[in-house]
Homo-oligomer: A and B are copies of this chain.
Amino acid sequence: MSDRYRRGIDIAQQLSFGSLEQFLTSQVAEVAPDFARMAIEFPFGDLYSRDGLDLQKREIVAIAALASLGHANQLRLHVAAALQLGATRSEIVEILMQTAVYGGFPAALNALAECHDLLTDDDCVGSSCR
């Protein structure tokens, strides 16, 4: 196990990326185990572990990029991670709304709908709650 992988797994755990590990041990890991490893090593081991940008800001980067590009699966993982790191729901809603400016309304509408369950629960609705 490389240092890069170990560092990556460590970051993924700080992000409570249980779901990523789950994803990476299933379909992708079955067909391309080396790529599942690289998908930990490069993003998390090489980049997220660097000084110069804290994890919360890195999750803003991930969410803004993934919503703009329309990658729903990965967007959900990073929205969950951002909430885990302490971001509020309304911050995430603001990020997703703002992507309408750069990637268009459909991308932003899709992103908000795809993360609906992560951004609501029984006790609070919409942007009025944390």
Contacts and interface: CB of A to CB of B under 8 A. Distances in A.
A107 B89 CA distance: 27
A54 to B, nearest CB: 9
B28 A112 contact: yes
A121 to B, nearest CB: 11
Nearest to A57: B60
Q: How many copies does the complex hold?
A: 6
Interface residues of A, number: 66
Contacts of A94: 47, 50, 52-53, 58
Given A33-B127, A68-B69, A112-B28, A47 B97 contact: yes
B28 A113 contact: yes
Interface string A18-61: 00000100011111111100110011001110101100011011
Contacts of A53: 91, 94-95, 98
Given A65-B103, A102-B66, A30 B74 contact: no
A97 B58 CA distance: 11
Contacts of A97: 32, 34-35, 38, 47
Which 6 interchain pairs have the tightest Cβ spacing?
A65-B102, A71-B106, A53-B94, A64-B64, A65-B68, A61-B64
